[in-house]
Structure 1
Amino acid sequence: MYGTARRHRHAAFSAAVVAALLTLTACAGDTDGDDGTTSGGPSTVSPSPSTSAAPSPSAGATDSPSGTTDDDGSTSVPPFPANTDPDTAEPSAGAALTVTDVRVGRHDGFDRVVFELGGTGTPGWRVEYVPEAIEDGKGDVIDVDGDGTLQVMISGSGYPMDTGVAEYAGPNPLRVAETDEVEEVVLRGVFEGNTQAFIGTDEVSPFRVYALTDPTRVVVEVRNDDT
């Protein structure tokens, strides 16, 4: 009798423990938000398949337009032109931006240069090949590696003291050994609302320019016709 009662109490206790564990496990699977994250444990929500869409530019070290990294969908990537004509865009009214980072990356068929900016408004630009690199406002000739020189003028720029944003303080000139077309990037200063930079290229190749947001970026891509 005593042994039978003890076995019954033991079985009842085990069942209670199992029920409690099942309740805790179910609670751990509850999501805190739309991103599928959970509070206090790994998510049990299966990710929904992504829908196909037109290629959109994105951010990060390589800032891929394929949408594989930081796909913000802010703009469509323009096609590469069949020529090397200047590319221009107007800034928003009252834009006050400072270049905070410069990145260079090699991609299939082109090299990419990204100018990240902080401040207010959206940037404009004028990007074009020039016979030589001449510093705006001073007239000094700047030594830039490469057989081609792309001048990048980012309009809507302001001095750090006016924008309240710390300017880029990384390597300058910036060189990346793995690139095919871009030899180096030389960032100069701000003059009359424009940030000036030069991209030294292996040859005078077609290029495209577009802007991204979150964070604000101006992207310059130089086509590599040898791939």
Structure 2
Amino acid sequence: MTSSRSSRPLRAAGAVLAAALLAGCGGTTDTVDAGTTAAAPTSAAGGSSASTSSSASAGPTPSGTPTGTPAATGAPADTSADVAEAVDPAGLTVTAVRAARQEGYDRVVFELAGSGTPGWQVEYVDSASAQGSGDPVDVPGEAVLQVVLQGVSYPYETGATEVPRGPVGAADSEHVAGVVYDGTFEGTAVAWIGTDGRAPFRVYSLTGPSRVVVEVVDEG
């Protein structure tokens, strides 16, 4: 997978270090657990479908192997666009969006059913416009960080239940005023993260389940 910031030595070193730590410790848990969650609706029987059962939980989820920037305070972050290619995407559908404050940064997690890793393009834009219609979308905050996930499929094709379109709150966050999810259209899923300004950010992915993580970082 390539990224506009993948040339930074720290990214590759961080991924190797993370893999070594996982091998040495026999596994761990990550903290990609947002305090505020938008998840796919439950079934009529009262539970989520098998492909999305872990998405609704706000607790820690099993750790995957980082395939981008290591999930650690101090990893590279700036305001330039971050772009990565999809890796073996199959049946990917966004089933949950979570946002919460962590020490030193605000974290937004996009969790997906299916396998592989979506591509992404994450960048600040002047305004938000809905896919297809081009209608303006109201995003809270002073700046708009647009997240485009590529290589995803419509829920009727995958059998997964997509997270509903609309706003997602951000509990106790420092920079993130809220998130608005726009759904899937022609192989892409789009969301906007409203921030208090064009703060530095970093993007990385995790597997087991597939997740794309955007962290808006405190400026030093």
The alignment's TM-score, normalised by the length of structure 1, stands at: 0.67
* Corresponding residue for residue 215 of structure 1: 209
Identify the residue that residue 102 of structure 1 maps to in structure 2.
Answer: 97
Root mean square deviation, CA, Å: 2.6
Name the aligned partner's letter for residue 175 of structure 1: G
Select the residue among 193, 199, 205 that pairs with 1:205.
199
Residue aligned with 1:209, SS: strand
Report the residue type matching 1:218 in the other structure: V
- Whichever residue aligns with residue 222 of structure 1, its letter is V
User: How far has the Cα of 1:175 moved from its partner?
Assistant: 1.1
Contact 1:95 1:123 in 2 (8 A): no
Secondary structure of the residue that 2:167 maps to in structure 1? coil
Pair 183,88 (structure 1): closer, same or farther in 2 beyond 3 Å:
same
1:160 aligns to 2:155 (yes or no) = yes
Q: Give matches, 1:1-227, under 5 Å.
A: 58=30, 60-62=32-34, 70=61, 72=63, 74-75=65-66, 77=70, 79-81=75-77, 83-169=78-164, 172-225=166-219
- Code of the residue aligned with 1:125 in structure 2: it is W
Task: Note if contact 2:64-2:208 (Cα within 8 Å) is conserved in structure 1.
Answer: no
Higher relative CO (Cα under 8 Å, sequence separation at least 6) belongs to: 2
State the Cα deviation string for residues 35-76 of structure 1 (Å, max 9, x = none): xxxxxxxxxxxxxxx9988xx98254249xxxxx55635025
- 2:117 counterpart SS class: coil
Q: Distance in 1 between matches of 2:218 and 2:151?
A: 30
Query: How many angstroms apart in 1 are the aligned matches of 2:91 and 2:168?
Result: 24
**Alpha-carbon distance in structure 2 between the residues aligned to 1:90 and 1:108:** 29
Give, in angstroms, the shift of residue 146 of structure 1. 0.7
* C-alpha distance in structure 2 between counterparts of 1:210 and 1:60, whole Å: 12
Q: Which amino acid is the alignment partner of residue 141 of structure 1?
A: P
Letter in 2 for 1:97: L
SS at match of 1:204: coil
Distance 2:29 2:141 in 1: 27
TM-score, structure 2 normalization: 0.69
Q: Which has the higher strand share?
A: 2
Q: Secondary structure at the match of 2:168?
A: coil
Closer, same or farther in 2 for the Cα pair 1:203/1:57, shift >3 Å?
Answer: farther
Q: CA deviation at 1:107?
A: 1.0
| Structure 2 spans left out of the alignment, 5+ residues | 1-21, 36-59
Tell me the matched-pair count. Answer: 168
Q: 4+ residue runs of structure 1 moved beyond 2 angstroms?
A: 50-53, 56-60, 69-73, 92-96
Q: Larger C-alpha radius of gyration, 1 or 2?
A: 1
> How many Å separate the matches in 1 of 2:146 and 2:213?
13
What is the deviation of 1:138? 1.4
2:156 counterpart SS class: helix
Kept in 2, the 8 Å contact 1:80–1:206? The answer is no
TM-aligned CA deviation for residue 120 of structure 1: 3.0
Residues 51 and 224 (structure 1), Cα distance of their counterparts in 2 relative to 1, 3 Å cut = same
1:105 deviates by: 1.0
Distance 2:79 2:33 in 1: 26
From the superposition, tell whether residues 130 and 57 of structure 1 become closer, same or farther in structure 2 (CA, over 3 Å).
farther
